[in-house]
A = this chain, B = another copy of it.
Amino acid sequence: MKISIIGVGLIGGSIALKLKEKGVAEFIYGIDKSDKHLNEALDLKIIDAKVDLEYGIKNSDLVIVAIPVDGAGRILPDVLDLISENQTVMDAGSTKAGIVEAIKDHPKRSRFVAFHPMWGTENNGPKSAIADSFSGKAGVICNKEESAEDALHLVEKIVESLDMHLIYMNAGDHDLHTAYISHISHITSYALANTVLEKEREEETIFQLASSGFSSTVRLAKSHPEMWVPIFRQNKENVLDVLNEHISQLRKFKSALEKENYEYLEELIKNANKIRGILDK
User: A residues bordering B, Cβ < 8 Å?
Assistant: 118-122, 137-138, 140, 165, 167, 177-178, 180-182, 184-200, 202-203, 205-225, 228-229, 232-233, 236, 239-247, 249-254, 257-258, 260, 262, 265-266, 268-276, 278-279, 281
Cross-chain contact B221 with A220 (CB below 8 angstroms): no
A190 to B189, CA, bound (A): 13
Measured CB to CB, the nearest residue on chain B to A173 is: B205
Q: How many copies does the complex hold?
A: 2
A180 to B193, CA, bound (A): 10
A246 to B247, CA, bound (A): 10
> Which of A177, A186, A211, A265 has the most B CB atoms < 10 Å from its CB?
A211
A242 to B254, CA, bound (A): 10
Cross-chain contact A281 with B207 (CB below 8 angstroms): yes
Cross-chain contact B213 with A216 (CB below 8 angstroms): no
Measured CB to CB, the nearest residue on chain B to A187 is: B253
Cross-chain contact A195 with B249 (CB below 8 angstroms): yes
Cross-chain contact A257 with B279 (CB below 8 angstroms): no
Measured CB to CB, the nearest residue on chain B to A224 is: B273
